[in-house]
Amino acid sequence: MKAPHFWSAGLDPKSREAAPLTRALLTPLATLYTWGIRRKLAKAIPARASIPVICVGNLTTGGVGKTPIVQAIRQHIEMKGLHASSLSRGYGGSEISPQKIYPTWHTADMCGDEPLLLSQTGESWIGKDRFAGIQMMAFYGTKVAVMDDGHQNPGVEKDLSLIVVDAAAPFGNGHVLPKGPLREPVSDGLARADAVILMGEGDVPQQVLQSGLPVLRARIVPSEAPPTGPLVAFAGIGRPQKFFDSLKAEGGDLREAVGYPDHHDYSQKELAFLHKLARTHDARLITTSKDYVRIHPDDRRGILKFPVRAEFEDIRQLDALLNPILYPDAA
């Protein structure tokens, strides 16, 4: 699904772009949605897992950089000598969960793009029932579970809840679904969090300042330099323009860019169009790692990927949050 334009921040609420009539019509639905999520969270009794659970969530729909953050935290814990595994819902996948994901066996159609991407750099699991997934992970040797998303899922008790916020577009127009991009009111979500990870350049949002939560700075950086020569880029992520801008900022010779909705499933017709577009510019196709794993292996020929990773500005801040959970006896 492509986010409606009126979800964007900074629009004059009375302007045509902000769709005041549409927002007014959606207000009752947003109110009902808010009531529903608050009721679900209030009634829930989270189950206590047998291993520590670190949740990396967000308050809006669309990509804010959660998955690279999950990967970075999982790898950081592994460097401490503890077996950490990521857990995703497996959105869009057909496989029965919970189960471990194998990059040489699973496809995005089977398990979803994010867990498949995470499986390429560490141990990755899927589990629609988060508690059942974590317990199975623990049975097979995982010592720390890092949840990719799940802040609004009350099924399991979290030892550490981190909210990832895009500094360039924190909370959209400030309204809850479907009137805006928020999964829940900002104040509600921050009240259940332990810290905020602010991605990219930009001021700390006022709501975050008011919450008094610790703020960690992080950014997405390339894992390698972009390929030389003319490029035609395409991406089906939360904000494709971020990928295109990053590619150009790193020196990529970008001739054209095509954006698609998040988690987009590329058809043969669309891939043929992209290849034709690249030939027109005498260029090569390039996409994100997340898009790359969504494309069937037989269709990846002639398509490059531009891998990225998350980098914390001050890793000591992360350690200050993690160490009491990872080493409780040392407290």
> Which domains does the chain possess?
53-219+311-330 (3.40.50.300), 224-306 (3.40.50)
Mean pLDDT score, 201-226: 95
Q: What is the pLDDT of residues 126-143, one digit of tens each?
A: 999 999 999 999 999 999
Q: State the Cα–Cα distance between residues 207 and 141, nearest whole angstrom.
A: 39
Q: State the Cα–Cα distance between residues 143 and 49, nearest whole angstrom.
A: 11
Scored b (16 or more CB within 10 A) or e, 56-71 reads bbbbbbbbbbbbbbbb
Question: What pLDDT does 1 receive?
Answer: 59
Question: What pLDDT does 18 receive?
Answer: 73
Q: What is the pTM of this model?
A: 0.93
Question: What pLDDT does 266 receive?
Answer: 96
Is residue 317's pLDDT more than 70? yes
Mean pLDDT score, 75-83: 98
Q: Which amino acid is at 76?
A: H
Question: What pLDDT does 132 receive?
Answer: 96
CB 94 within 8 A of CB 153: no
Q: State the Cα–Cα distance between residues 263 and 108, nearest whole angstrom.
A: 10
Q: Scan for tokens 């001050």, then name that residue.
A: 314
Mean pLDDT score, 295-318: 96
Question: What pLDDT does 331 receive?
Answer: 61
Question: What pLDDT does 286 receive?
Answer: 98
Q: What is the pLDDT of residues 159-172, one digit of tens each?
A: 999 999 999 889 99
Mean per-residue pLDDT of the chain: 94
Q: What is the pLDDT of residues 17-31, one digit of tens each?
A: 778 889 899 999 999
Q: What is the pLDDT of residues 219-276, one digit of tens each?
A: 999 999 999 999 999 999 988 998 999 999 999 999 999 999 888 999 999 999 999 9
For residues 281 and 263, the model is more confident at 281
pLDDT band of residue 36 (cuts 50, 70, 90) is: very high
Q: Give the orientation angle of helix 315-326 with respect to helix 66-79, to 10 degrees.
A: 60
Q: State the Cα–Cα distance between residues 147 and 126, nearest whole angstrom.
A: 10
Q: State the Cα–Cα distance between residues 178 and 83, nearest whole angstrom.
A: 39
Mean pLDDT score, 185-204: 97
Is residue 92's pLDDT more than 90? no
Question: What pLDDT does 179 receive?
Answer: 95
